[in-house]
Structure 1
Amino acid sequence: MAPKNLGTITVDDPVVVITQPQVQAQSDAEGDTVASQTDSSASAKTEGSGKKTSNSEDKAGKPGTWFWHKMSGKVLFNRAVVKLQQVNQQGEQESQMLLQDGALDLALASDTLNLNLSLKTGAEQAEGQIKAVGSAHLPSVKGSLLDLMTADMEVTFTDVQVAPFLALAPAESSVPQGQAILTSELTVKNTEGGNLVLRGPITLKEVDLTGGFLAEDHPQLEQLAFELDLQRDEQKEWRLPELKMLSDFGSVDLQSSYGKQGLQAAGKGTFDLPVLLTQLPGLFKVQENLRLENGIASLAFELTEQNKVMHITADATVEDLAGRQNRQPFVWKSPLSLSLNGSMTGKEPEVDKLVLKADFLDIEGQGNLQHFTLKAQQILIKQ
């Protein structure tokens, strides 16, 4: 019979190397995966060892118990290192330090797991740090871990440079590359029944990104800050009661949920148009001869999914618009407003009503990709 007390297992100087596979023209595999290997040069000191397998269900149909039930012990990792191995432009293998000075203290007793983890970012980066401290009460009876266990954890990122972590994404992915410094304090809680909460601030500073979904755009922002509140309830439905974003180009408030009825979302935002369009000209298809010098945009929207049809309601307003086009100045003193009611089935949009209004125009439209009509109530052109 396996021992109940595992004692203390200590691993010194472990090294984990993450290797990025080379992109091949043809591959029989469905997709490349990131392989990892562990340098086993670490020394290990073990005070007692053993393994207990879980009990199988008995003839009466009672669920078995997990292998950790009534087990106790401690695992210590000291001076852990994580490296990324890549192929450079010359085709040579080179490694980059991702994380170093890792320390893990993992203790199990009375079905309670206590965790204390700390890591520092690589030597070539700023002195960033990652910490995770918390505990989880593990279920003794087999079943869904998320539904049966309780957990409470604090995860902290302090001045972590995200560049080497973005580099982990495959070259053909939509993940942009570049630099940003991450600071965050997240709380993770899970109660019996599967109620999961992830909450806390996330801040990115000195953002400098390009590629991926950004394509040729190259936004450079002083700060991009989020206030996250993500929840999962007993019905396994996800809710986002609040997501706030604040950046150089504006602010956004978003609420959403996703469950059996589909996606439900609502939000509002205010944007500094000259900053937004300067940072993301490709995304918004900005003409090269257009330069905005002033302008504030406000947006409010609601999304409701019913029977696989997404219903959309949106209202947008642009005020104090001024700039130059073909080096000629223009000023719109009156606000420009747009209202939209429509739906989306698959990739087929249907506009029930589109209204565009300003002092000099009043236009309504409706239709789809095959047939769309516009009706002008008023268009005034001043010479």
Structure 2
Amino acid sequence: MSRVFNFSAGPATLPEAVLEQVRDELLDWRGTGMSVMEMSHRDKPFMSIATEAEADLRKLLGVPDNYKVLFLQGGATGQFAFVPMNLMPEGGSADYLVTGSWGKKAIKEAGKYGTANTAVRPADDKFDHIPARSEWKLDPNAAYVHYTPNETIEGVEFHQPPEVGGVPLVGDFSSNFLSRPVDVAAHGVMYAGAQKNAGPAGLTMVIVRDDLIGKARPTTPSIFDYKAVADGESMLNTPPCFAWYVSGLVFKWLLDQGGLEGMAERNARKAGLLYDYIDSEPFYDNPVAPADRSHMNVTFRLAKPDLDATFLEGAKAAGMPGLKGHRSVGGMRASIYNAMPEAGVQALVDYMKEFVRTNG
């Protein structure tokens, strides 16, 4: 069996070394005689897995002591509701920086719980850039400011946390989580689904500052209440144990790769290789402003859209599936998350060159 270069936007490729370790431990984790999928989340074996995973995640990100790390279910989409339930008081408001499709979904959900202000949104929803800071309309009395550091569908990324004054900053880091160092202390809340960079689908991580815990509305279900979950050490109910375990292995793999500093250098090289070729070849086009281009999701279009299906079929046959753009925007999208090797990006560039030679 040969492994493909999987360019899917998520669930996405995982480090091969991690998959091999999961395979080797699948039936018998460290002499327990059982799989992690079978063990009680309350017993010492899984408790050790959970504790070690949190410690490694804190080390990777440099999480300050006054932040809780929660391991939940429900995905980032669940957090679209959890955040206002926990941070927006009755009759309150929050600001949203809408720079892509996921920001649109987040603000729509927040509007069910209070006033969700659009602090910035490109005209005509032309999500090919991040509007200048001078165009933002922030409310100093907002409960929080929400943004999406990386928009997976359009390929737009904030490369630094936005300056929002003293209002708590909330970030949906799902698609660039652990891809580079980030200033956790600049945020009140960071959350991310695991299935892009951190592990398999089913696990959601929330990093929340202590002073923002304990403010949930009285009607908030306990399982959605950050304080209740923190007090229960993320085990208020049975957590996604297997996804938590695999993510813990990914955290160790990242530490072995030189941590987030090492991953940032590697991801910048991969993205640069692909963008440089796209910019040099008129047959392909990336519409995103260069300063705001994602290092995780590289979107591009062919000069001859009628060849899209041919391009995708050829890529899949060459061992490169998952390049079809999101149905809402079309075109192509190469998701080059942490576990995508540089050889995979080079293989894609080589295929794109050959496609131009035979179809250009």
In the superposition, the TM-score normalised over structure 2's length comes to 0.21
Greater relative contact order (Cα < 8 A, sep 6+): 2
Q: Of Structure 1 and Structure 2, which has the larger fraction of its residues in helix?
A: 2
